Amino acid sequence: MKALRFNEYGQPDVLRVSEIATPEPRPGEVLIKVIAVAINPSDVKNVAGVFSATLPRTPGRDFAGKVVSAGEWQGREVWGSGAGFGVIRDGAQSEYISLPVEWLSAKPANLSMAQAATIGVPYITAWSALVVAGNIQPGETLLVTGSSGAVGYAAIQIAHWKGARVIGVGISDRPSEADVYVNSRNQDVLAAVALATDGRGADIVLDAVGGASFEMALKSLRQGGRQIAITSTGIRRVEFDLIDFYHRQLQLIGVDTMKLTGREIASIFDQLRAGFETGSLRPPDHVTWLIEHAVDAYVAVNTRNSAKKQVLLFE
């Protein structure tokens, strides 16, 4: 079968489309014919060596395809994002993958394979942060930093689905689905949040930027508010007023979706399905590439020269 492989860490040009053996499902596993796979920024980082993946390795976390092995799942269309994919086991950017049955989730019928492949990492991250860790509630106000990114896009939709109001913060001039959008390049974020919340502050922050934006995001919270960190861009270490932090009874929560099990990931996909089937959630725009042009697709992600998701097709 065809598979995208890297034998050394580096830029996208270390990737090669290779012929390798089709996996043999072990007891309790099924074989999936992969039709579409998305490329996430974390896949680019993985190829660069950030996660110290064992080599040689097939990258890729998010996929959509059809079960081809015998059993109750045979012929069913599935979507997913595997635990440890591309790091401690081969990822999804190959013609076939073998997965435990409990890692499977049925794909929404109204999404194409390419659309379904775009959902994984962004929506799993946003769901884990807002619903699982943040316990977002109807009527709350959510502040999202990096709201123009893939996770921000997913977070805005999930928050609206859950009945929350959203203040988006970003540096893009593109239209936003947030109820209030603040361009931090030319607007005072704290003043804008105060105005939008009648001086109260946000109930919850999803900080999808970190680094220099961390303290600003923390200051935007109301008394007793909670902030969820999922990354840190630019710098790893941040500063904040610890006395102010505990006087205001704030909460700081870290979320790392790389620690999720396959069963946990499948459970989140199952919960997301209803949102896509009803239209409350919508897949992002995407661009498709044949697997033979995978390096060019990786370059597009690495250089961030497109706001659309990059998707590889095997047929």
What CATH number should be reported for the domain holding residue 77? 3.90.180.10
> Are 183 and 93 in a shared domain?
no
Q: Is residue 134 in a domain?
A: yes
| Residue 67 falls inside a structural domain | yes
Confidence of residue 305 (pLDDT cuts 50, 70, 90): low
Is 236 part of a structural domain of the chain? Answer: yes
So what's the pLDDT on residue 304? 76
**How far does CA 119 lie from the centroid of its chain?**
7
Q: State whether 107 and 39 are in the same domain.
A: yes
Structural domain contains residue 277:
no
Residue 302 pLDDT: 87
As a whole number of angstroms, the distance between CA 258 and CA 113 comes to 23
Residues 6+ apart with CB under 8 A from 227: 204, 205, 207, 217, 218, 221, 250, 251, 252, 253
- In this structure, what are the phi and psi dihedrals at residue 283, rounded to the nearest 5 degrees? -70, 155
Q: Judge whether 204 and 250 are in contact, CB under 8 Å.
A: no
Q: Are residues 199 and 178 in the same domain?
A: yes
Are both 210 and 142 inside the same structural domain?
Answer: yes
Last residue of a domain, one of 242, 257, 272: 257
Number of domains the chain is built from: 2
Does 295 lie in the same domain as 213?
no
Same domain, 84 and 187: no
Mean pLDDT of all residues in 178-195? 95
Q: Are 14 and 112 within one domain?
A: yes
Segments forming the whole domain that contains residue 50: 2-119+283-313
Query: What integer is the mean pLDDT of 244-255?
Result: 97
Regarding pTM above 0.85, the answer is: yes
Residue 83 pLDDT exceeds 80: yes
User: Based on the domain organization, do 126 and 195 belong to the same domain?
Assistant: yes
Same domain, 233 and 290: no
Last residue of a domain, one of 239, 257, 275: 257
- Domain assignment present for residue 137? The answer is yes
The answer to whether position 265 is within a domain reads no
